[in-house]
Amino acid sequence: MDAVAERQLASIGEVVAVASAAGIGVWLRGGWAMDFHLGEMTRPHVDVDWYCWLADAERLATLLAARGWRPDPRMPVEVQLDLFRDDIEVSFAYLARDAAGRVTVGAGPWAGTSLPQGLLDGPPGRIGDRTAPMIAVAAQIEFKEMYPVWMPGRPRRAKDAADLSQLRASLPAPS
């Protein structure tokens, strides 16, 4: 694991510790969620992607700012919380609930859109001695499969196809 990956991994531990101490729910998503599910780093990552509740975002940002994290001015905080410290970026997409209690996109152009059922029901993942909450594997697969359908202008990337293959292979065989 290179130095950037080590710092990203340390940031995951830091976010989990800060959020947990404050009673704020956070869940890994994206490439690091897959890696925590598989128990090892499978490829380099540009950033660390998370979910958090929209209602907790301002408090989370304040707690992380006290630890040296700064907002990325390129992303409006009303849409997503993107923070940098040195060369490490963490981003928090917002979650909310609809009137029926289903988990939805919390902000931005898709606010209110239902997210996969069971999204937050997966067990924590682990790499080495680090444990982190993460979105359910079935949701990870659904996101990777549906990304080019939901956003036709952005076709599936090679890393998404590789991730899908690894995630599917990690699931227990049907009985």
* Res. 148 pLDDT band, cuts 50 70 90: low
Alpha-carbon torsion angle 7, 54, 72, 17, nearest 10:
-20
Q: Domain of 12: which CATH number?
A: 3.30.460.40
Decide if 22 is inside a domain: yes
Task: Count how many domains the chain has.
Answer: 1
Decide if 163 is inside a domain: no
* Res. 147 pLDDT band, cuts 50 70 90: low
What is the pTM assigned to this prediction?
0.90
Q: Which domain holds residue 34?
A: 3-136
Decide if 81 is inside a domain: yes
Decide if 161 is inside a domain: no
Decide if 122 is inside a domain: yes
Decide if 171 is inside a domain: no
Q: Please provide the size of the chain in residues.
A: 175
55-98, pLDDT tens digit by residue?
999 999 999 999 999 999 888 889 999 999 999 999 999 999 99
Decide if 125 is inside a domain: yes
Q: What is the CA radius of gyration of the chain?
A: 16
Q: What pLDDT does residue 152 have?
A: 66
